[in-house]
Copies of this chain bind each other. A is one copy, B any other.
Amino acid sequence: MAKPPFLVFIMAGGSGERFWPMSRKAKPKQLLKLVSPHTLLEETVRRLRPLARKPADLLILTNHAQISGVRKALPTFPKSSLIPEPAKRDTAPAAALATALAIRRHPEAILALLPADAVIGKSPIYRAQLAAGARAAQATSSFVTLGIKPSHPATGFGYLHLGAKTLPKIKGGPFHKVRRFVEKPSLSKAKKYCRSGQYAWNAGIYLWKASTFLAEARRQQPKLARFIERFPKRGSGPSVEAYVKREFPKLPKISVDYAIMEGAKSVLALKAIFPWDDVGSWSALPAHLPTDKKGNTFRGSVVAIDSQNSLALAEGGRTVALLGTKDLVVVDTPDALLVCPKDRVQEVKKLMSLLPRDVI
């Protein structure tokens, strides 16, 4: 049998609520050009491409409703590597689908599964750490995750409680045993985690051997295991497409962290040494864009007098004039406009239930 392949699966789903009005249901965050002339998805594909030994080793999992947007963003990406999920599920079904596709390729395949919408710097280091993670996953049959060093006591992320160092001999190590997964903590707990130095943010970047995932699924998530076991073999009768269309929507809506990782026998973490930012809301954007002396971040036809620390994106083809605004977010698009203080941007998704259907 050939050497086991290393397959990289990019998860490009998401609901497109946090970056409304630029993002929409059919155009979620990873399809936006938020921090560069390229969409976040395009940036992610470019960043990961050198890691794939052959083009077919890089795949994208996306929601069926977003597939045309993904194709438009990546016109040269092989269609056969673009996997539509026929229903909106969480990350555990996506992980099972990735694993099943990997096993179809090779029973001992190694996978990386990671989100499409983070901003990541120092790509060569990032790739080297993913490769190191793949080696550890292969050598130990552990799950491997890349943990981000917290820059502040964020309450919007899950944390990894890191334990003893291990695998000093694997190139790119040492790794840490993950003692515990912690869900989004309170601010006081987050502060404690930051001070301790024993915690890392969970960025949702995972690596595993297909056989490892299948074994843990059998133990923890029989439905996911069955989905993988019954997945059409290469050259066999039923088509992958028809199987996924029929079976995927039956899978539980559950995250891979909760379904598999938290209860897994062994999870290792590598401390990320590349810059990483989730860019979780409008207020995270200025850190990645040119900002003037008064802390303003403007894009497009924006005119301002005496404004401070404001973010204004004129993407609607009209002139945006700010006078005396402070700590304000103004995002203008052709059919919808958002005005919101910076410290309230986390709540943008609350608007969805009030907005006219044609602008969500």
B21 and A356 contact, CB distance less than 8 A: no
B323 and A338 contact, CB distance less than 8 A: yes
* CB interface residues, A 320-343, toward B, < 8 Å: 320-326, 328, 330, 332-341, 343
- A351 at the B interface (CB under 8 A): yes
Residues in chain B near residue A312, CB distance under 8 A = 339
Residues in chain B near residue A2, CB distance under 8 A = none
Our pick among B318, B324, B356 for the contact of A301 (Cβ within 8 Å) is B356
B339 and A321 contact, CB distance less than 8 A: yes
In the bound assembly, the distance between CA atoms of A132 and B345 in angstroms comes to 58
A21 nearest in chain B by CB position: B321
Known A305-B351, A347-B305, A356-B301; judge A336-B322 contact (CB<8 A): no
Known A339-B325, A339-B328, A354-B303; judge A334-B318 contact (CB<8 A): yes
A330 and B339 contact, CB distance less than 8 A: yes
Known A318-B335, A337-B318, A337-B319; judge A355-B303 contact (CB<8 A): yes
Residues in chain B near residue A337, CB distance under 8 A = 314, 316, 318-321, 330, 332, 337
Taken together, the copies of this chain in the complex come to 2
B350 and A322 contact, CB distance less than 8 A: no
Our pick among B303, B306, B351 for the contact of A323 (Cβ within 8 Å) is B351
- A79 at the B interface (CB under 8 A): no
What's the nearest-Cβ distance from chain B to residue A326, in Å?
Answer: 8
Residues in chain B near residue A38, CB distance under 8 A = none
- A359 at the B interface (CB under 8 A): yes
Q: How many residues of A contact B (CB 8 A)?
A: 41
Our pick among B319, B324, B330 for the contact of A335 (Cβ within 8 Å) is B319
- A348 at the B interface (CB under 8 A): yes
Residues in chain B near residue A314, CB distance under 8 A = 337
A324 and B341 contact, CB distance less than 8 A: yes
In the bound assembly, the distance between CA atoms of A325 and B341 in angstroms comes to 6
Known A318-B316, A319-B356; judge A325-B303 contact (CB<8 A): no
- A122 at the B interface (CB under 8 A): no
Residues in chain B near residue A20, CB distance under 8 A = 321
- A253 at the B interface (CB under 8 A): no
A332 nearest in chain B by CB position: B337
Known A347-B305, A351-B303; judge A340-B323 contact (CB<8 A): yes
B324 and A344 contact, CB distance less than 8 A: yes
What's the nearest-Cβ distance from chain B to residue A149, in Å?
Answer: 31
9 contacts between A and B (CB under 8 A): A21-B321, A305-B350, A306-B344, A321-B336, A321-B355, A323-B351, A324-B344, A330-B337, A337-B337
Which residues in A have some Cβ–Cβ distance to B below 8 Å? Answer: 20-21, 301, 303, 305-306, 312, 314, 316, 318-326, 328, 330, 332-341, 343-345, 347-348, 350-351, 354-356, 359
